[in-house]
Amino acid sequence: MTEVGVLLLQDRGGLCSSAAVWRLLHRHGWSWQCPARRALERDEQTVGLRKKDVWPQAE
């Protein structure tokens, strides 16, 4: 949210609170929580290998 606030500050010349930024994004259908769909470039095989091999080591 802070990145959007900085962009608004640069573009509009005014400072917005995080609540104002959230209301603005929400009004236009944006959400910070999750993407609407998976990326087209996503490689399921690579993701599966990473989950199996790398993720347990990171935990």
**pLDDT value of position 28:** 84
**pLDDT value of position 24:** 81
Please state, in angstroms and as integers, the Cα–Cα distance from residue 1 to each residue in 23, 38, 52, following that order: 11, 22, 32
Question: Would the pTM count as exceeding 0.75?
Answer: no
Say which residue the tokens 């989950």 belong to: 51
**pLDDT value of position 2:** 66
Where do the DSSP E strands lie in the chain? Answer: none
Tens digit of pLDDT at every position of the chain (59 positions): 567 777 777 777 777 777 887 888 888 888 767 666 777 788 888 888 888 887 777 66
